[in-house]
Amino acid sequence: MPRKFFVGGNWKCNGTQASIKELCNSLNKGDSVESSPVEVVCAPPAIYAQYAREHLRKDFQIGLQNCWIGKGGAYTGEIAADMIKDMNFHWVILGHSERRHIPELHESDDTIAKKVEYAQSVGLKVIACIGETLEEREAGRTQEVNERQLAAIAGKVKDWNGIVIAYEPVWAIGTGKVATPEQAQEVHSFLRTWLRNNVSAQVAENTRIIYGGSVNGKNCAELAKQSDIDGFLVGGASLKPEFLDIVGSFRSSL
């Protein structure tokens, strides 16, 4: 059975009640995807998650952008995976490059892996992000870096049915640069081969590997045609009506 196309919208630290309501109204105008071979998850800032759910179409799910490393407690400002689950949200984004590389955050491979493990333990599904910087790519370390990050996550995964791997080259996030379809496919193919050799053939075949990095309405169709690209994790364009065009790019993969 073919892998179901997956489109995530990461709204990052953006929005007000007014702008989110306007965005939801815009996205609500698109054709229903309820019976289509595509799954859509939008991740607003945590404080607006319930508000977005109340205003966004029901065939688009709402997820969270991050969670704490373990059970709740004396961790001021953090959100525990248990809380996300208690509010009946089912997805969380973990390991995004901004969490890894912004100096004030600087999450390690080990921290991200532990977050994945705990989030799964309470029943959340995870969009797990990996990707190399421009310096690492130019040094010929693309495979090395992505293998290291994926291996850390894979070592903690209990249920691969609840994992989507998001390959996001750091040099393409928010820069306007985008990996060519061939560049993206090359890394996605490498990741799938790694899963086959280090986890199982079944996991490799079934796990969705999505691409993120300046995806927009103009480049999504060509990217979606690649055999190992199973969808997208979208940043800036997820805040615009063209997000509907990206969702619709699943047709290019059929």
Would you say the pTM of this structure is higher than 0.85?
Answer: yes
CA atoms of 5 and 133, how far apart (whole Å): 26
**In three state form, how does the secondary structure of 223-241 look?**
HHCCCCCCEEEECHHHHCC
Catalytic member of 39, 98, 168, 242: 168
Residues of the chain falling short of pLDDT 50: none
Number of domains in the chain: 1
Catalytic member of 39, 96, 98, 242: 96
The question of whether 168 is a catalytic residue gets the answer yes
CB-based contact 195:163 (threshold 8 Å): no
Kindly report the CATH number assigned to the domain that includes residue 176: 3.20.20.70
pLDDT digit string (tens) for 105-153? 999 999 999 999 999 999 999 999 999 999 999 999 999 999 999 999 9
The question of whether 188 is a catalytic residue gets the answer no
pLDDT digit string (tens) for 154-166? 999 999 999 999 9
CA atoms of 211 and 185, how far apart (whole Å): 9
Domain that residue 10 falls in: 5-253
